[in-house]
C-alpha cells in the first residue's frame, strides 16, 4: 500500500482532514459525520463534509439536501463542472457548511486514491475541517477515503463484531501512516451496561486502546431526525445524544478528552456548591452523585471487566497488501475554489 506520500502537508492551511470510519456498516458513521459537521459549523468552523460512500450515498439524506445534488466529485473529475459547483451549501450555514458527494447513487466506482487526495487538497484551502464519511468495509473504497486524512474517528458500537472490525481498521490506518485516531462509542445503553449485558465504554476503550472522543447513547430521536433530514443536534431541546455530539465537536475544536471534560464539570459542581454554603450540601451531594454516575456511565471510573476477551493488538493485524489505484485524467482548473465559481445552490438559482 502506498501510504500518505501523496499528501503534501505544506500544500495548504491548518485545516484538519478527519475520516469517520469503522469497518462495520450501520454503526453510525454517517450519523456522526452529519451531527459533528453541523455542530462544528455552529461553533463557527468552516466545514466540508465528503460522502465517500460511493454508490450508497446517504449523507445528503441525513442533512435534508438530497434534492440539491446536481453535480458530484465525478463530474468535477470529468470536467463537467468546477469543484465549487459540486459543493452543496447548507442553507442553515451557507458560509460554514458544505457537502460534496463523490458520485450519484448506483454510479460505478471510478475514483482513485490520488484523485481523492487532490480533491481534498483543493478543499483544504477554504475549510477549517474536512470530514470524510467512509464507506463500510476495507476494500478499495476504504483505502481511497482514508487517503487524504491525517486524523480518524473510529466509530463502534459496544459489541464484539463491531469492535473487532474497528480493531482491524485501526491496524490498517496505522500501516497507512495514520496514527491520530480517536474513539467514538455509539448506541450505548446504560441500563444494559449496568446489568452487564453490554460492554461499558471503558471495556470498548480498553479493547481498542484509543483515546476517547465521546460516547453517544442509544436514542430513538436519531432515527426520527434521520427520517426528517434534520440533524439531531438542531433540535430545540437537545437529547442526551445531541449533547454528546455537541461535546465531541467542542473537544475536536478545543482539544482535551471526555475524561477531562467530565472532571471539569465535577470541579465546577464542587465550586458551585461551596458558594451556595451549607444549605447546599444536599445539592452538592446530588451534583457529585450525578457526575460520578456520569463518569461511571462513560466508563472513566469503571474498571474494565474481563467480559471482553479481545486485547489491543491481539485482534489487530495490519494488512499492507492493498493495492494503489493509479491517477486518471485531471483538470486542475476545475479544482479551484475561486470566489467567482458558483456552488450547486447558486447554479440552481441561476
The nearest distance, CB 94 to ligand ADP, in angstroms, is 24
Q: What are phi and psi of 135, to 5 degrees?
A: -70, 160
Kindly list the distances between the CA atom of residue 93 and the CA atoms of 99, 228, 331, in Å, as whole numbers in the listed order: 12, 18, 29
Closest Cα to residue 5, out of 232, 253, 178? Answer: 178
Which of 74, 216, 262, 291 is in the footprint of ligand ADP by CB under 6 A? 216
Only one of the segments 25-33, 84-92, 119-127, 265-273 lies at the binding site for Mg ion (rule: CB under 5 A); that segment is 25-33
Q: At what angle do helices 281-298 and 201-208 cross, to 10 degrees?
A: 40
Nearer to ligand ADP, 69 or 244 (CB): 244
Helix or strand run (H / E) with residue 227: helix 220-228
Nearer to ligand ADP, 31 or 115 (CB): 31
**Which residues pair with residue 279 across a beta bridge?**
none
HEC per residue, 76-92: HHCCCCCHHHHCEECCC
Q: Is 31 in the site for ligand ADP (CB under 6 A)?
A: yes
Closest Cα to residue 59, out of 39, 96, 30? Answer: 30
DSSP 331: -
Which of 167, 219, 325, 345 is in the footprint of ligand ADP by CB under 6 A? 219
Only one of the segments 22-30, 120-128, 258-266, 308-316 lies at the binding site for ligand ADP (rule: CB under 6 A); that segment is 22-30
Nearer to ligand ADP, 96 or 187 (CB): 187
Q: Is 222 in the site for ligand ADP (CB under 6 A)?
A: yes
If 0-12 CB within 10 Å is exposed, 13-18 middle and 19+ buried, where does residue 107 land? middle
Which residues make Cβ contacts (< 8 Å) with residue 31, sequence separation at least 6? 62, 186, 222, 226, 232
Distance CA(311)–CA(313), nearest Å, equals 6
The nearest distance, CB 217 to ligand ADP, in angstroms, is 6
Q: Is 269 in the site for ligand ADP (CB under 6 A)?
A: no
Restricted to residues 223-252, the positions that interact with ligand ADP (CB under 6 A) are 223, 226, 241
Among Mg ion, ligand ADP, none, what binds residue 28 when CB lies within 5 to 8 Å by partner kind? ligand ADP
Which of 30, 85, 98, 343 is in the footprint of Mg ion by CB under 5 A? 30
Q: How big is the site for ligand ADP, counted in residues (CB under 6 A)? A: 18
Helix or strand run (H / E) with residue 156: strand 151-156
User: Residue number with the shortest CB distance to Mg ion?
Assistant: 30
Restricted to residues 148-187, the positions that interact with ligand ADP (CB under 6 A) are 186-187
Only one of the segments 5-13, 20-28, 74-82, 87-95 lies at the binding site for ligand ADP (rule: CB under 6 A); that segment is 20-28
User: Which positions from 299 to 338 touch ligand ADP by CB under 6 A, shown as an x/- string?
Assistant: ----------------------------------------
Q: Which three cell numbers stand for residue 99?
A: 457537502
Among Mg ion, ligand ADP, none, what binds residue 216 when CB lies within 5 to 8 Å by partner kind? ligand ADP
The label of the residue with cell 452529519 reads 34
Q: Which residues bind ligand ADP (CB under 6 A)?
A: 22, 25-31, 136, 186-187, 216, 218-219, 222-223, 226, 241
Amino acid at each position: 500500500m502506498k501510504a500518505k506520500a501523496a499528501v503534501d502537508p505544506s500544500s495548504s492551511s491548518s485545516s484538519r482532514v478527519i475520516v469517520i470510519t469503522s469497518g462495520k456498516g450501520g454503526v453510525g458513521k454517517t450519523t456522526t459525520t452529519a451531527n459533528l459537521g453541523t455542530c462544528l459549523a455552529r461553533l463557527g468552523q468552516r466545514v466540508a463534509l465528503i460522502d465517500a460512500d460511493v454508490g450508497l450515498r446517504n449523507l445528503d439524506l441525513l442533512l435534508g439536501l438530497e434534492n440539491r445534488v446536481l453535480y458530484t466529485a465525478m463530474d468535477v473529475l470529468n470536467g463537467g463542472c468546477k469543484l465549487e459547483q459540486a459543493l452543496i451549501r447548507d442553507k442553515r450555514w451557507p458560509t460554514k457548511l458544505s457537502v460534496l458527494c463523490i458520485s450519484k447513487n448506483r454510479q460505478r466506482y471510478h475514483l482513485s486514491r490520488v484523485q481523492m487526495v487532490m480533491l481534498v487538497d483543493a478543499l483544504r484551502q477554504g475549510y477549517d475541517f474536512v470530514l470524510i464519511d467512509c464507506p463500510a468495509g476495507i476494500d478499495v473504497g476504504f483505502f481511497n477515503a482514508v487517503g487524504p486524512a491525517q486524523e480518524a474517528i473510529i466509530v463502534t458500537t459496544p459489541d464484539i463484531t463491531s469492535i473487532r472490525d474497528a480493531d482491524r481498521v485501526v491496524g490498517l490506518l496505522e500501516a497507512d501512516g495514520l496514527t491520530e485516531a480517536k474513539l467514538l462509542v455509539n448506541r450505548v445503553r446504560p441500563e444494559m451496561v449496568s446489568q452487564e449485558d453490554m460492554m461499558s465504554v471503558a471495556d470498548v476503550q480498553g479493547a481498542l486502546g484509543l483515546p476517547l472522543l465521546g460516547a453517544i447513547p442509544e436514542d430513538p430521536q436519531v432515527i426520527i431526525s434521520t427520517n426528517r433530514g434534520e440533524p439531531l443536534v438542531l433540535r430545540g431541546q437537545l437529547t442526551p445524544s445531541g449533547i454528546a455530539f455537541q461535546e465531541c465537536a467542542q473537544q475536536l475544536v478545543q482539544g482535551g478528552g471526555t475524561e477531562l471534560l467530565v472532571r471539569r464539570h465535577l470541579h465546577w459542581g464542587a465550586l458551585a456548591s461551596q458558594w451556595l454554603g451549607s444549605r447546599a450540601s444536599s445539592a452538592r451531594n446530588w451534583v457529585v452523585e450525578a457526575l460520578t454516575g456520569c463518569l461511571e456511565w462513560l466508563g472513566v471510573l469503571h474498571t474494565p471487566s474481563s467480559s471482553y476477551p479481545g486485547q489491543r493488538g491481539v485482534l489487530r493485524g495490519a494488512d499492507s497488501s492493498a493495492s494503489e489505484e493509479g491517477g486518471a485524467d485531471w483538470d486542475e482548473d476545475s479544482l479551484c475554489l475561486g470566489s467567482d465559481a458558483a456552488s450547486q445552490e447558486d447554479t440552481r438559482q441561476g
